[in-house]
Amino acid sequence: MAAFQVGYIGAGFISTFHARALQYVRGIELGGVYSIKGSEELQAFAKKIGVGECTVQPSIAELCKNVDAVCIFAPNFARIEIMQAIVDAVKEGAELKGIIVEKPLGRTVAEGQILVDLAKEAGLPTAYFENQIHMKGINAAVQQLAPQQKSMGPITLCRSAEEHAGPHEPWFWDPTKQGGGVLSDMGCHSIAVAWHVLNPIGKPIDFLKPISISCDTALLKWGTKEGQKKLMEKMGVDYSKTPAEDFATGVVTFENPETGQRVKGQFTNSWMFDKQGLRLYMDGLGPGYAFELNTLQSALQIFIGDEAAEAVADAEIALEKSTATRGLLTVEPNEADLYGYTDEIIDACNAFKQGKDALLNFEYGLEITKLCQAGYMAAERGVTLNLTDPQVQEDLKTYQSLISQGRGAEVLHVM
């Protein structure tokens, strides 16, 4: 049977990661790419690692004609124009079987809603890519503890964190382009994981009802004079004028609609995590049982002394967002699989082949966008936000955080 062909829109960091994931997947190939920059490099990489022809396409319309599903792997600020171009291509006859979008679905609830509406207009199945819900470690923990959940009761607290020293491209740091700071960029992962882990075993992905959220957004590292200077030099953004949060933490309270039991998901995200590199940390506590997952605890450690380090260039070989090339390094040899990228593409393509949405569809992505934006709203208002209040739900539909409007200095402490 012919391989299912996916086409990437965007050829940057995440496209390369997803291409790597395809090495561990059967029956799915990278058929083509359309991007403003980087297409030829991605094509060469795809051919080198044997994951598909990855033909370079001159437009989104051409890409859509030549693949089975398209993946929006471009920056957050380009979502709507790209989605519109896909819908136009479908109306002009492109026979796509599904559309995939990377997180976040939108920079605001209103943007996310437009994506949902456009997908409906195209009449196509969707996949919202939240890789961490597909992490083998997370799902093994949930499965392993299924008997305990059944006999003792569900997990009542999940703490979920994603942290690193800061993103790789300037647009991530510009809150008006990205949609905020680390809460918009990575809070979406941690909130989704907590919700997933807390859902009682066997229940749908959105079973528990989010009833309230509290949140603290702060600028701990990149708002100091030294931090601002470094950011300006490295990324060309001015955090004395348009800062975004580099730390966010909060609690989402969920209620079980059948039993009334309340459980909590605590999220923590930072761009000021000066350790070896990216760390995903999740734990779950139920009555009499628990799990803990920390991606910086690899089975493999490498030591490189000062003398030998001069020969090594920092190429993120050890780990995503790695910060060091000497000393005792944590090395994750298969990050694409560890973080869930392999399992999410398998899930999406299998669903599309049957004409169905992936486990996580655009509507689910919109719920996550809503929770992240509710986090900003709670932090701005200095309250625990009641998500069951119809007025709060109404406000969220048109809400845009001060930070994403470029007015972060009004809510963050800038030195």
Ligand X SMILES: NC(=O)c1ccc[n+]([C@@H]2O[C@H](COP(=O)([O-])OP(=O)(O)OC[C@H]3O[C@@H](n4cnc5c(N)ncnc54)[C@H](O)[C@@H]3O)[C@@H](O)[C@H]2O)c1
Residues that bind ligand X (CB under 6 A): 9-15, 35-38, 73-76, 78, 82, 102-103, 131, 169
Q: Which is nearer to ligand X, 15 or 325 (CB)?
A: 15
User: What are the angstrom distances between the C-alpha of 365 and each of 26, 100, 160, 209?
Assistant: 26, 11, 18, 15
Residue nearest to ligand X (CB): 12
Q: Which is nearer to ligand X, 3 or 78 (CB)?
A: 78
| Rg, Å, the chain Cα set | 21
Structure tokens at 329: 């390094």
Q: Which is nearer to ligand X, 55 or 212 (CB)?
A: 55
CB of 300 to ligand X, least distance (A): 22
CB of 14 to ligand X, least distance (A): 4
Q: Which is nearer to ligand X, 75 or 406 (CB)?
A: 75
Q: Which is nearer to ligand X, 263 or 271 (CB)?
A: 271
CB of 285 to ligand X, least distance (A): 25
Q: Which is nearer to ligand X, 44 or 309 (CB)?
A: 44
Structure tokens at 33: 């790419």
Residues 6+ apart with CB under 8 A from 119: 83, 99, 126, 362
CB of 322 to ligand X, least distance (A): 15
In a 3-state reduction of DSSP, which class is residue 199?
coil
**Buried/exposed code over 115-151 (b: 16+ C-beta within 10 A; e: otherwise):** bbebbeebebbbbbbbbbbbbebbeebbeebeebbee
CB of 42 to ligand X, least distance (A): 8
CB of 376 to ligand X, least distance (A): 17
In a 3-state reduction of DSSP, which class is residue 391?
helix
Q: Which is nearer to ligand X, 14 or 99 (CB)?
A: 14
Q: Residue for token digits 């510009």? A: 174
DSSP calls for 354-382: TT---SS-HHHHHHHHHHHHHHHHHHHHT
CB of 189 to ligand X, least distance (A): 7
CA dihedral 184, 295, 303, 314 (to 10 degrees): -30
Q: Residue for token digits 């997952």? A: 293
